[in-house]
Structure 1
């Protein structure tokens, strides 16, 4: 089989198939860079973990952007939550929004947990999604209500801890990656990594209450979209 030579991978020693597979392993599974290096070595591909890191930085965001364009429109209920993360010994907050199906809409790493930070997240979401939700669901943090009055005044707002499980559960994959990576080194690194990680997780997410046949069909479609997003599919 002749290796794919997409313009995106020009001047790289390794073919597109190897690069895209390494990027997929790193963002799809809770693996460190050195683990990806070993998995490639087991297949006879000698590449350093630093090269894998450079591939992730160079190609990850572009692939994530292509994935977003190919996924269905989000639901009309947006769940919001924020979780504390420690970066270089300082407390930061990871703000996240998901829809009612558990699809991550966006994330924002900030040093504050106040109304100004909540406004930044809402404005970022509206700019990216292009439309406001029908309902926004949050915990009882007062910053959400203050931000909503300014940014999305016409949206119904429900504040209840028990209604927000979608957003709270979506933090779990981030916690696993945080442990593997031995914490994020900076707010910028966390933002860059999660901005790619979450769209990839959305693509390969297994919906609840699906049988094996439906799951295989969904996975095949996800792999097809990945090939298109990475430039490996014919005609891309």
Structure 2
């Protein structure tokens, strides 16, 4: 997992669809070596996971790192929906001043329900020991989830149940 996930994600990058213009951003908690850490995630209006970032702290520097990495994936958002965390308005005004920031109650349900899929995957594991492991596993989970949802031009000629197998077959030829 640690070795091949970054290789597969990099090989598939040219086949990835551009993210939508409405982003839903939130952070969730994950236990690493017995301590709670933060996992920043962003999805667009189509359900494509844009980016993930594991961080030991929930502060302005972590939010800036996350948004800088997420904005490098292509299209800039027109609207960003977040929770009411105090750091988001300042970071969004700095990095994406043209975007409308929405932080109303229950507007961020799309990303909140998307966290449950990742947490369901992490729960049966025996625990993660390093922050790097959380970053790699969550990035790999987002990658597989995006392939299943059809956000890559990989395995699109096959049935949706066999899409993941066909996509990995195409990627092995590319690597």
Q: Fold-level match, TM-score > 0.5?
A: yes
What secondary structure, in the 3-state scheme, does the structure 1 residue paired with 2:84 have?
coil
Please provide the CA RMSD for this pair: 2.3
Taking the aligned partners of 1:88 and 1:220, their CA distance within structure 2 comes to 36
Normalized per residue, which structure has more helix? 1
Taking the aligned partners of 1:183 and 1:102, their CA distance within structure 2 comes to 27
Task: Tell me if 1:148 matches 2:92.
Answer: yes
What residue in structure 1 maps to residue 149 of structure 2?
205
Higher relative contact order (CA 8 A, sep 6+): 2
Instruction: After TM superposition, give the deviation of residue 147 of structure 1 in Å.
Output: 0.8
Q: Deviations over 1:69-98 (max 9, x none)?
A: 223221111100111122112221110000
Taking the aligned partners of 1:140 and 1:153, their CA distance within structure 2 comes to 18
Taking the aligned partners of 1:95 and 1:126, their CA distance within structure 2 comes to 14
Contact 1:67 1:203 in 2 (8 A): no
- What TM-score results when the alignment is normalised by the length of structure 2? 0.86
Task: Tell me if 1:169 matches 2:169.
Answer: no
What residue in structure 1 maps to residue 166 of structure 2?
224
Structure 1 pair 180–157 and aligned structure 2 pair: CA distance change class (3 A): same
Unmatched tracts of structure 2, length 5 or more: 152-157
What secondary structure, in the 3-state scheme, does the structure 1 residue paired with 2:102 have?
strand
Task: Tell me if 1:109 matches 2:51.
Answer: no
Instruction: After TM superposition, give the deviation of residue 104 of structure 1 in Å.
Output: 0.7
What secondary structure, in the 3-state scheme, does the structure 2 residue paired with 1:106 have?
strand
Normalized per residue, which structure has more strand? 2
Bigger-Rg structure (1/2): 1
Count of residues in correspondence between the two structures: 170
What residue in structure 2 maps to residue 76 of structure 1?
21
